[in-house]
Chains A and B, each alone.
Chain A
Amino acid sequence: MVVPLSFKHAVRGQVGGAMIEARGLTKRYGRTVAVESLSFTVQPGRVTGFLGPNGAGKSTTMRLILGLDRPSSGDVLIDGKHYRDLHSPLRYIGALLDAKWVHPNRSARAHLKWLARSNGLPKRRVDEVLELVGLTNVAKRKAGGFSLGMSQRLGIAAALLGDPQILLFDEPVNGLDPEGIHWIRQLMKRLAAEGRTVFVSSHLLSEMAQTADELVVIGRGKLIAQSTTGEFVERASGTSVRVRTPQLERLRTALAGTAGTTVRVDEGALLVNGMTSDQVGEVAATQGVVLHELSPQRGSLEEAFMRLTGDAIEYHAEEAGEHLHMQGTSGGAKE
């Protein structure tokens, strides 16, 4: 039997158009800045990945969205409202921040029951979501005895309880087996296809590349990029071109003279960044340089992502996000 995600009996608000909007969001804990002037929007109808290494401020941002923590400055709006001003918020926004946030001695059903009650949702909705995540048979068991996969499913059941238009998931596939990962990916896509706003965090670009349509990328609490996943992967993986030539010095000088291009010598070949292979070939032709190899290189996605968001990186984005240049800085990160 296919259980509809949607909530037949719901008295829900408007469908579509529900979005999250962060405006200059900043959170300091003592002297530590967890999130700094973060601005981004999360749109309905697609999965938006929230990407950043561990400790980048993803969970903090999620807590700020849910009104659990108070921003030091800036704010975040759900459908144009602050979370604290939402009436029966579970009907607007469902979230799974941590699957272990349950009382270990309370049954799965009781956990969902009090949540449903708190937002005036009917009891039958509890059974609907239990069925949906496949926990009906263990509904009376204590949540403390659940495996991580089961806890995750319970957390998702809680998130779906109010049939919300917006869903937040914080690292939902962490520690899951392949089947669980597949299930969650499918679920997120399905939710987005229904026109919902899905915001999901991860520290793995490879994971996001498979699920997210759009990415909000942060590093050390700051926004690095917001773009479609395709664009970001393209940029992150870089377009480096490998060239081999007997006239190495001559070509290197010619290429290095072009603005926005970096050239480095690697095992008797040149590695060119910031130029397509076509462009490199044209430069070579005008210089009358013989080429033995001209091949575009695709860097490791994760490696490139680490360079983008990692610690000792100074980041420059030229106008309109045309090219990204990464330079290791010796004196630590500025700005």
Chain B
Amino acid sequence: MSVLGAERIKLFSTKSPWWSSLATVVFVVGFGMIFLLTTASLVREDGPAVPFRVGVSTTQQGIFFGQMVILVMAALAITTEYRFNTIKTTFQAIPGRTSVMLSKALIIGLLAAVLGEIAAFASWGLGRLLVTDFDLTIRTADQWRQVAGAGLVFAITAIIGLAVGALTRHTAGAVTALLVWAMLGEQLIGAIPRVGDKIQPWLPFNAGGHFLGVGPNQNEGAQTGTDLPYNAWGAVAYFAGVAVVLFLVAVLVVNRRDA
């Protein structure tokens, strides 16, 4: 418990997590609204000819951008400790490195979950205010998942960021690796002729997005992709599995390595 408390004080006693939190919400809501308004006006003009609809998940299309901020924030939570050598002070105060890592994961994961919920519901709420001629009411379990699921996806995202941060120990390295992978790597791999389509479901961020109905090639109504090897919950389980494996490797490495 005391380790958790220490990590909480550490996280909130510098400014960057506060800015990251604000950025997360602003990105999700901002990009979500741009996407929603654009889509809504296209559908209004062309009607049924447009290959997509406007619905609850249309308000959630900014999630990915917030997710990128979460990745960076979580990686920074540990890389700055290495950069300023406070990791040594930390391990001096708490020699059990596994409990340090678990506490960090819990704190940063919780923060990410809360931010995910705030951002997702803010997006949905604002969307309902801005776009009144489409039905944006949350009715089905799938729609609930698409909005309320953001917290879960953000928490998993934070664990991945933390793990990669702990493994690289460098802010620049961790952020580059994470962002290049999430923003470019998965798209490029998916675009490889023939095999790309088969690999794509197994790319972790793609799977996480599928859970929220915001992945590539998915529009409103993509509840369970018929061509995908898993349903929405399978997708998030896979995403979480990747995070857990990365995290376990990070804990192992942190324990074995000199501080």
Contacts and interface: CB of A to CB of B under 8 A. Distances in A.
A103 B258 contact: no
A156 to B, nearest CB: 13
Contacts of A119: 2, 93-94
A95 B6 contact: no
A319 B144 CA distance: 82
A158 interface: yes
Contacts of B90: 118
Interface string A67-78: 111100000000
Given A105-B15, A106-B13, A113-B13, A67 B88 contact: no
Interface SS, B side = helix
A153 B95 CA distance: 24
A85 B96 CA distance: 8
Contact of A114 (B9, B80, B256): B9
B86 interface: yes
Interface in B109-152: none
- Give the most central of A101, A107, A118, A120: most B CB within 10 Å: A118
A34 to B, nearest CB: 11
B258 A115 contact: no
A55 B93 CA distance: 26
Contacts of B91: 67-68
Interface in B2-31: 2-3, 5-7, 9-10, 13-16
Interface residues of B, number: 28
Contact of B80 (A70, A103, A111, A117): A103
A110 B258 CA distance: 26
A323 B186 CA distance: 71
A89 B94 CA distance: 7
Nearest to A142: B14
* Interface bin, chain A: 20 to 34
Contacts of B176: none
Contact of B92 (A66, A111, A113, A120): A66
Nearest to A88: B2
Contact of B86 (A84, A86, A101): A101
A100 B90 CA distance: 14
Contacts of A90: 92-93
Contacts of B7: 114
Contacts of B84: 100-104
A84 B92 CA distance: 9
B218 interface: no
A318 to B, nearest CB: 38
Contact of B13 (A70, A86, A95, A110): A110
A97 interface: yes
B14 A106 contact: yes
Given A68-B88, A103-B86, A106-B14, 11 more contacts: A70-B258, A85-B95, A90-B93, A101-B89, A102-B89, A110-B13, A114-B7, A117-B5, A118-B6, A118-B94, A119-B93
23 contacts: A66-B92, A67-B91, A68-B91, A68-B92, A85-B95, A90-B93, A95-B92, A101-B86, A101-B88, A101-B89, A104-B84, A106-B10, A106-B14, A107-B13, A115-B6, A115-B89, A117-B2, A117-B5, A117-B6, A117-B9, A118-B2, A119-B94, A158-B89
Interface of B: 2-3, 5-7, 9-10, 13-16, 80-81, 84-86, 88-96, 256, 258-259
